Amino acid sequence: MAENGGSPWVLLPCESKLLDLAQALAEADSCRSSDLAVLSILRAHPFVEVKGRPGGSPPRDFGDGLGICSEEHFRLNIRTFNQWLKSKDGKVFAKQAGGPSDDGIYTISALLRRCMPRGFSRFTFEAFPEEEVLVRGFRKFTGLNADDEDEESGATEHTENFYFDPNLVPERFAVTTKSNGENGKFSVRSVGGHQLLFAGSKNTCIAWRSEQDVTVIQPSSDPTIPGPLIAAAVQTYWRGWEVDTRDRFAAVVDRECWTLMLEHNCAHHEHVFPIDRDYVEFVAILDRSGLPLPQKQAFDLFDEFLLPRVRCDANVPMHVFPERLHAERTAVDREGAVLYLETDSGQPVGLVKVKSSFYVKARRTRQTFWGAVVDPLLKGQDLSGDKNVGWTAADRRLRAGMKTLHHVDGCEEHGQEWADVAVGFVHWWHARYDALRPNERKEFAKAAKSKFGSLYRDYCKENGLPGGEN
C-alpha cells in the first residue's frame, strides 16, 4: 500500500526512493529551492520521461549573447505506468487507477499531482547557465462525474484529492466558459537582458527571440499540430502592440514568471461545435508555481491588453454553486465550464470542469460514429464484412451507449430519445455519403473527422433539434 514515511504526500511503493526529494520540496523556503526539488523529483520519477526538442532535433543556437539553448520537456510515461500496474506492487492500485492513462497516474500519485502539471518545459542558455525558464501548464484537475472527462477515468471519484491545498475551504468561485479548442500557453521572459517569447500546446513549448518571426523558425504547415499554430497566434498579438505596451506587458509577466493559459480553436479540428476560423481565447494566468491567479485579476490583465478571452463570472458566492452547475449542464451552446474555487482572499483552492449534457451526448455520438463508420471507411474497409463496424454496428452501439450515460440527468427517462437522435445523425450522414460520387466520398469522410461540429449542427438544424443554432 502507499505510505508517506514522513513525506507530506502519500507515496506509492515505487516512489519510496523519492522520499528525501519530497521532504526537500515540503521544506523549500524559496521559489528557487522549490523548483529545484520539483525538477529533481520529475527527473527521477519512474512515470515521467524527459525529452529534448520535438522530433529529436539538435539543440538550437540562439546566437550572440545567448548561445545554445538546452530544452527539457517533461511528460508522463504511460508505457512504464502500464508495466508497473501489472507488477506485484502495482496490481493493488490497478482498480483505483482505472487503467493506464494520464488520469490513472494522477489519480493514484499525490506526488505527481503536486509536481507534474499538464505540460512542463525547462530552457537554459549556454551564455547564462544559472538562469532558467520554466513554463508550466495547469496542474491536473478533474470533473465532478465521469461524463465530465473525455477519457475513461476514475479521477472523478476523488475530485477533492486534486485540490491544491486540502486545508483550504472554497468560499467563492469563478465560472469560465469551457472553450472548444486545444489547451495552450504563452509567456515572456528575459534571459541575460535578452527578451524571449515562449508558447506552445499542452505538451510542447517553443522559444524564440521577441524580434524573430516564429513562423519562420517553426512553420505551422500542419493544422493537426497545434503548437506552432499557437505560437504564431500569440506572436500576432505581441506584434500588434505598440512598443510601450509590449514593455508594460513584458515587465509584469517576466517579473512574476507568469504563464498565460489559452485555448486555440482550430477550424480543422472541431470537437462538437462549429469553428469557422482559427482563433485564440485566453482563460487563466498561472503563477510561478503553476497555481492560477484570482480570475478577476487575470481577466483584468486580459482586458487591459485587449487579449481575447472566454466569458468569466468572478467572485460568485458558493451558495449559488448548485444553480450555476445546473445552468452549465443544461446549456446547448457550449462544451461546459471550468469552475475556479477560491477563498475570499483569492487563494486558489482547486479547479473543477463541468461538461454540458449536450456536449456529452454529442461526443458519445461522435466517438461511436468515428469508430464504427468513419475510421473504417478511411482505411478502405468493407463495412459489410465485419459485424463490429458499419452502419448496423453504429446503430447498435449508439443505442446501447446512450443508455449508459447514467451521470447525465434524465438518462433513465430519455435514454431512448437520445439514442434516436444519435442514430438519426448516422442515418442522415449515410444518406449524404451514398448520394456522392465514389471519388467524393473519401473527402466527405475526412470532413467527418475535422468538421464534425459543423456536420452535427447542420443535422440538428435540419431536424429542429437543440443545437441547430450553434
Residue with cell 483550504: 168
Cβ contact 368:397 at 8 Å: yes
HSE-up of residue 103 (Cα within 13 Å, Cβ side): 20
**pLDDT value of position 407:** 84
Q: Counting every residue, how long is the chain?
A: 470
Domain residue ranges of the chain, discontinuous segments joined by +: 1-151, 358-462
DSSP 310: -
The secondary structure element, H or E, covering residue 401 is helix 391-402
Q: How far is CA 304 from the centre of its chain?
A: 26
Q: Which of 263, 233, 260 is nearest to 249 (CA)?
A: 260
pTM equals 0.92
> Could you tell me which residues come within 8 angstroms of residue 38 by beta carbon, excluding any fewer than 6 positions away?
25, 115
Cβ contact 119:205 at 8 Å: yes
| DSSP one-letter string for 157-194 | GGGGGGSS-TT----EEEEEE--SSEEEEEEEEEETTE
HSE-up of residue 39 (Cα within 13 Å, Cβ side): 15
| DSSP one-letter string for 413-429 | HHHHHHHHHHHHHHHHH
**pLDDT value of position 149:** 55
203-235: b (≥16 Cβ within 10 Å) or e: bbbbbbbbeeebbeebebeeeeebbbbbbbbbb
**pLDDT value of position 1:** 47
Q: Which of 146, 156, 99 is nearest to 411 (CA)?
A: 146
439 burial (CB, 10 Å; 0-12 / 13-18 / 19+) is exposed
Q: Residues of the chain whose pLDDT is less than 50? A: 1, 152-153, 155
d(CA 191, CA 463): 58
**pLDDT value of position 54:** 74
**pLDDT value of position 312:** 97
Q: Which of 148, 177, 454, 145 is nearest to 334 (CA)?
A: 177
**pLDDT value of position 2:** 53
d(CA 179, CA 226): 15
pLDDT > 90: percent of the chain? 85
Phi first, then psi: what are they for 380, rounded to 5°? 80, 20
Instruction: Tell me how many helices (H) and strands (E) the chain has.
Output: 18, 15
HSE-up of residue 260 (Cα within 13 Å, Cβ side): 33
Q: Which of 296, 230, 285 is nearest to 253 (CA)?
A: 285
| DSSP one-letter string for 385-398 | S-TTSSHHHHHHHH
DSSP 49: E
243-257: b (≥16 Cβ within 10 Å) or e: eeebeebbeebbeeb
- Residue 39 vs residues 53, 65, 187: alpha-carbon distances, Å: 18, 26, 20
Reduced 3-state DSSP string for 286-297: ECCCCCECCHHH
**pLDDT value of position 4:** 64
Phi first, then psi: what are they for 241, rounded to 5°? -85, 150
